Amino acid sequence: MIILSKNDYKKMLDHAKKESPIEACGLLAGIVDGEKKFVKEVRLLTNIDRSPEHFSMDPKEQFEALKHFRENKFVLIGNFHSHPQSPARPSEEDKRLAFDSKLSYLILSLMEKENPVLKSFIIEDGNSYEEDILIED
């Protein structure tokens, strides 16, 4: 289960809306306690592909974010990206690129502008499994 603050959710949503129709992206880090993943920091990154259909995080920004997380004793929980015009579910490309990972893969769909949808997935053996998200104050 991903536990995310309302402020971090708003930060992700604002970034996705600002970047639309290009996919926004970023990394999430925090503390893992058993099955619970507490997000303590969301780092917004640049999609260097500038594409509405896929994303590539800026490698320099990724490196700096990972260094910062390590210095603050946070573990990488996963990444997020937006789907400006498609549902919040992993594409076949997402599944191929994510391969087997213990990291969470969050997708924020803006397909219905008034009702954005955030979902989290774990991807193993080319299959995706939805993971619960709790957004709290």
Tell me: the pLDDT tens digits for 6-48? 999 999 999 999 999 999 999 999 999 999 999 999 999 999 9
> Using CA atoms, how far apart are residues 23 and 21, in angstroms rounded to an integer?
7
Which residue did the predictor score with more confidence, 49 or 68?
Answer: 68
For residue 88, what pLDDT is reported?
87
* Domains held by the chain: number: 1
75-105 residue pLDDT tens:
999 999 998 888 888 777 777 666 556 788 8
**Mean pLDDT across the stretch 38-65?**
91
Determine the structural domain holding residue 83 and report its residue range. 2-136
> Using CA atoms, how far apart are residues 97 and 44, in angstroms rounded to an integer?
20
Name the token pair of 59.
Answer: 């490698």
**Mean pLDDT across the stretch 50-54?**
81
In CATH, what number is assigned to the domain containing residue 98?
Answer: 3.40.140.10
